Amino acid sequence: MKNILPLIFCAFLFLGAERSGKLNLTVSISGFPSDAGKAYIGLFRKGDKFPEMSGQFIGKIIPIENKKAEISFNNLSENSYAIAVFHDKNKNGKLDKNILGIPTENYGFSNNARETFSAPSFESAAVKLDQSKSISIYIK
């Protein structure tokens, strides 16, 4: 019995550590038309300026390989998060748009949320992170 109590205590510590900020969110992105350029990914919390890339909680720029990209956000707290991603084909650091404001580079959001004439709301793209998980995004 004396040997079991320390094991139970360690198990509670381990489970508590995951809940207190050791959660990981892995994002697999597909739909890139080419490997040219970079993928810009923004991780947002409620209250951040979703989906503006200058207003994200964490921003990453990663290479595209075989028309796919994958990124992990580690050591996150239990919370709801939304992801916005775009393909910066010409490496100018921004999502290019035409004169009407319509994006000319591919983009996407978590939950594959998409609106007809505007960006989706945080709520429609939000992923509840209560345990480590993986999600997929298809960009268009």
Please name each of the domains of the chain with its CATH number: 23-138 (2.60.40)
pLDDT tens digits along 33-67: 999 999 999 999 999 999 998 999 999 999 999 99
Q: How far apart are CA 39 and CA 58, in angstroms?
A: 14
Interval 119-134 mean pLDDT: 97
Specify the range with the lowest mean pLDDT, choosing from 62-71, 84-93, 113-122.
113-122
Does pLDDT of 12 surpass 50?
no
Coil, strand or helix at 8: helix
Amino acid at residue number 111? N
pLDDT for 133 equals 97
Please name the residues in contact with 107: beta carbons below 8 A apart, sequence gap of 6 or more.
84, 85, 86, 87, 95, 139, 140
pLDDT for 16 equals 46
51 preceded by a cis bond (ω within 30 of 0): yes
Name the average pLDDT for the chain. 89
Contact 64, 28 (CB under 8 A): no
Coil, strand or helix at 19: helix
Coil, strand or helix at 4: helix
pTM: 0.83
Does pLDDT of 13 surpass 80?
no
Please name the residues in contact with 81: beta carbons below 8 A apart, sequence gap of 6 or more.
25, 43, 44, 45, 57, 73, 110, 126, 127, 129
Confidence of residue 86 (pLDDT cuts 50, 70, 90): very high
